[in-house]
Structure 1
Amino acid sequence: MSIKVNKVLDAKGLACPMPVVKTKKTMDQIEPGEVLLVEATDRGSLADMKGWAKNTGHQYLGSKEEGDVLYHYLRKSDPSETSEIEEFPHVTSNEELINKLDDESITVLDVREPAEYVFSHVPGAVSIPLGDLEERMGEIDKESEIHVICRTGNRSNMAAQQLAENGFDKVFNVKPGMSQWDGPTENK
């Protein structure tokens, strides 16, 4: 079975958030119903593409992997089916989170891919990649103040929205995230 592709986007070698940024721009150039193939090497793009499509209303058809390249298939929806990704209203800065790290009543939720988490993360952070969040929400204490972090604030924005939609009411998106984190870190 083959999928008819209308446009191919080469996002190989780009890291989050660039594959999604380029996907959004390219999606604006194709017609509703057409299929975009995004070629990416960033492992995080798997969760990013699914999350972006879900949050905008475009259809995520699936992905396949060949060697180091991920091939993501997305179908452009009709404008009546789509929406812009809203900025999550509750944002906290890296500095504000650093000042709260000793508070045991907070949970730091890292939604990056496992390979990103292993090399450097906030001490005590819980690792649940964005793509796994829906199935693993039960692992997070709803009573806790949750600070969601990723590399740049984009995946954490999508994760924070998902948590809020599922009854978590003390959620904060940490921006700019690990790309500019100068607080304590650990690795596993």
Structure 2
Amino acid sequence: MDIKTDFSLDAKGLACPMPIVKTKKTMKDIEAGQVLEVLATDQGSKADLAAWAKSAGHQFLGTIEEGEVLKHYVRKSGDEDAQEKKHPNVVSNDDLNKALDSEDTLVVDVRESAEYAFEHIPGATSIPLGELDERAGELDENKELYVVCRTGNRSDMAAQKLSEKGFTKVYNVVPGMSEWAFDKTSNQ
């Protein structure tokens, strides 16, 4: 399938959040209505770019897989439509660490399973962002959900999704695992 694009961005070999960071930067330089092709090799980029595009008000057109390369297509919306949404309930790593003592606290780690395996908060539930739609039913809606990722970007998108699904006590943890200075464990 030959798809006409206005620009192409090479994000091959980059891990989250870099494909999103580079896409966001590139989108600022193109005009409304133009289509950006993002070439990536990170499997997590499928869900990440789709969720980012939605939260930023852009149109995620789809992904074509060609071997190891994922070709994502995003159409830039008009500036009035492109106000990036942020989840309103944000807490710090310190806030989450204090909340860990409560039985009402559930930590949802939305990083990829490999990231989780090497280092995570003890007791955290691993649900990668790309699996959240199908696995949200595994979460207890009566608990306070603290959503964590590496830097707060994926967890922001996940917190928005969970709120849209009717969860009322959802918190995005920023800056997340990149600066988590408390107890950690691994599956190794």
TM-score (norm 2): 0.89
Q: Distance in 1 between matches of 2:66 and 2:184?
A: 33
- Report what 1:144 is aligned to: 143
Tell me, in whole angstroms, the C-alpha distance in 2 between the residues paired with 1:179 and 1:70. 26
- Unaligned runs of 5+ residues in structure 1 are none
Tell me: CA distance 1:70–1:109, structure 2 relative to 1, closer, same or farther (3 Å).
same
Q: Which residues in structure 2 correspond to 1:25-174 (within 5 Å)?
A: 25-80=25-80, 82-174=81-173
Higher deviation after alignment, 139-148 or 96-105: 96-105
Q: CA deviation at 1:117?
A: 1.4
Task: Report the counterpart of residue 9 of structure 2 in structure 1.
Answer: 9
Give the root-mean-square deviation of aligned CA atoms: 1.9
Instruction: Using the TM superposition, name which of 62-71 and 99-108 deviates more.
Output: 62-71
Alpha-carbon distance, 1:67 to partner: 4.7
Amino acid across the alignment from 1:42: D
- For residue 34 of structure 1, report the CA deviation from its aligned partner: 2.2
| Superposed displacement of residue 187, structure 1 | 2.0
Q: In the TM superposition, what is the alpha-carbon distance from 1:23 to its structure 2 partner?
A: 0.9
Residue 31 of structure 1, CA deviation: 2.7
- The percentage of counterpart residues that share the same residue type is 59
Give the C-alpha shift of residue 139 in structure 1: 1.1
CA-CA distance at 1:11 after TM superposition: 2.0
Q: Alignment partner of 1:64: what SS?
A: strand
In structure 1, how many angstroms separate the alpha carbons of the residues matched to 2:114 and 2:130? 14
What is the deviation of 1:181? 1.2
Does the CA contact (< 8 Å) of 2:107 and 2:148 recur in 1?
yes
> Could you tell me how far apart the structure 2 residues matched to 1:42 and 1:95 are?
30
Structure 2 CA distance, aligned partners of 1:111 and 1:85?
A: 20
- Once residues 165 and 77 of structure 1 are traced to their aligned partners in structure 2, the CA distance between those partners, rounded to angstroms, is 22
SS at match of 2:29: coil
* Count, aligned residues: 187
Which amino acid is the alignment partner of residue 154 of structure 1? Answer: N
Residue 68 of structure 1: how far off its partner (Å): 4.2
Counterpart CA distance in 2 for 1:31 and 1:121 is 40
Unmatched segments (≥5 aa) in structure 2: none
Asked whether the equivalents of residues 56 and 83 of structure 1 are also in contact (C-alpha less than 8 Å), the reply is yes
Normalising by the residue count of structure 1, what TM-score does the alignment of the two structures yield? 0.89
CA distance in 2 between partners of 1:86 and 1:164 (Å): 13
